[in-house]
Structure 1
Amino acid sequence: MQTHILISGASRGIGAAIAEALVSDTTKVVALSSVDGDLADPAVPDRIWNRALAHLDGRIDVLVNNAGVFEANPVDADDAEWLANWNRTQQINLTASALFCRRAVLHWQERGEAKEKRGGRIVNIASRAAHRGDSPAHWHYAASKAGMVAMTKTIARAYAKENILAYAICPGFTMTGMAEEYLSSRGGDKLLADIPLGRVAMPEEVAEMARWCALDAPASMTGAVLDVNGASYVR
């Protein structure tokens, strides 16, 4: 039986690499992009979930939450603008992911009650910023990713007995369009000097970790938070 997978934020970068890594003869993947709906709208995640569920024949086995924004929010911004930026980042990065996770948990519980195949897997793409923080203009981003890690751990602890497993992955800088622009700027040398490996991670490296967590990671590893940052932050 094919494994049915829903991936958010899959139009480019890490998300696109994850989708490519997960597509095979044994999987059926719905890879979401911004055209599927604006996750800043609280009503969108539930609508997307229901559409994806219909496309996947009423069964989702794996949820990968990758959608997110990384937008500057200077501390000296206008009060209303700063709060609006904070709320937008929390809504997209954390709350939308939480809504997807909630739907997934309820879906798997319903399948369990119907004595169908029980359980499922959640893979949340968080960030190194969840542990070490981020720039002064990115309080909101670091907070959203820390919340994602805490949510992952809570889901793992709460539902392991139902074979509902949850993993989080925390990339550092990854070679997406954003990193390429930064590396070509005056900040590039400083960024690389902070990474003992001497380079940023490649999307395919993060994707391989996500593929493994989604399909092969042992159940006893549920709740684990995996780093991929070239030893720029070790715990």
Structure 2
Amino acid sequence: MENAARPTALVTGSSRGIGAAIASAIEARGFRVIRHGTRIEGTDCVAADLGDAGETALLWDRAVDMAGGRIDVLVNNAGVFEASPIDNTDAYWLAEWERCLRINLTSAAQLSRLAVRQWLKEPRDPMAGRLVNIASRAAYRGDSPDHWHYAAAKAGEVAMTKTIARAYAGHGILAFAICPGFTDSSQEGSGDYLASRGGPGLLADIPLGRVAEPAEIAAIAAFCAADAPPSMTGAVLDANGASYVR
């Protein structure tokens, strides 16, 4: 990061899996990292339910206070991947749709807005701040028939990233999106992960022959947070083993 002082990053959904790997990778670059989870505990940790707009706003306020008044990098990683078959009741299907968009897209938009507003008021030379959104291959390829809402939310996150990049590059605000494919974020290992996603057959659609590892996504996120050149702002980076090539 270009700031002389030790920069601070807020990483949502960083109590486990991809988010935990991202937090550790950014911390290894010399950042102070504030971690977020629904029930997370510990130093430099903030618990908040991103399904609640009020808690999302409080997450930002608490993180800024913990950081001494400024967040330099925001990584929107938190999300849910929950099925909502179309043959559910109308009320259930709509509730799941709203929950998915609230957590996967609207909370990221809410935090991004707060970050951009801070960076516009308190610019740093040469870079004011960096935004990294963890989207998904589903943004471009779509997802299963039970996950219309997830694909729509991730497509919205990519579009939001591009919009922020175009609107605020002149103010030193950089924005990047990362689109992973299947990533083994389980605690048990790849065998259990494959079983949870329908079995080893899904590998037939991945030319690399395996799903991604959290450390791979984390390496990309840390690069965007710390080292990506300003001219790269607005980039969408794929990490799907060539299962979808744009």
Question: What residue in structure 1 maps to residue 92 of structure 2?
Answer: 81
Counterpart in 1 of 2:42? none
Alignment of 1:119-130 (within 5 A): 119-130=128-139
Q: Deviations over 1:45-99 (max 9, x none)?
A: 1100000000000011000000000000001100000000000000000000000
**Which residue pairs with 1:135 in the alignment?**
144
Mean alpha-carbon deviation: is it higher for 115-124 or for 194-203?
Answer: 115-124
Which runs of structure 2 are paired with 1:54-203 in the superposition (5 Å)? 54-112=65-123, 119-177=128-186, 180-184=191-195, 187-203=198-214
Change (3 A) 1:86 1:213: same
Q: Deviations over 1:190-231 (max 9, x none)?
A: 210010000000000000000000000000000000000000
TM-score normalized with structure 2 length: 0.91
- Counterpart residue number, 2:22: 18
Matching residue of 1:50 = 61
Percent identity at matched positions? 60
Give the 3-state SS of the residue equivalent to 2:156 in structure 1: helix
CA distance in 2, matches of 1:12, 1:57: 25
Deviations, residues 3-51 of structure 1 (Å, cap 9, x unaligned):
1100000011100000110113731110111121111111111100000
Structure 1 segments of 4+ aligned residues over 4 angstroms from their partners:
115-118
Aligned to 1:177, the other structure's residue is in SS state: coil
2:237 aligned to which of 196, 209, 226: 226
Aligned alpha-carbon RMSD (Å): 1.6
Task: Indicate conservation of the 8 Å contact 2:29/2:222, yes or no.
Answer: no
Further displaced range: 180-189 or 124-133: 180-189
1:186 Cα offset (Å): 8.6
Question: Gaps spanning 5+ residues in structure 2: where?
Answer: 40-46
Paired residues of 2:138 and 2:151 also in contact (CA < 8 A)? yes
C-alpha contact 1:111 1:117 (8 A) present in aligned 2? no
- Aligned pair count? 233
TM-score (norm 1): 0.95
Query: What amino acid sits opposite 1:129 in the alignment?
Result: A
* Among 10, 16, 22, the residue aligned to 1:6: 10
What is the alpha-carbon distance in structure 2 between the residues aligned to residue 208 and residue 186 of structure 1?
24
1:143-166 deviation digits (Å, cap 9, x = unpaired):
000000000000000000001000
Unpaired segments ≥5 residues, structure 1? none
Which residue, 21, 33, 38 being the options, matches 2:37? 33
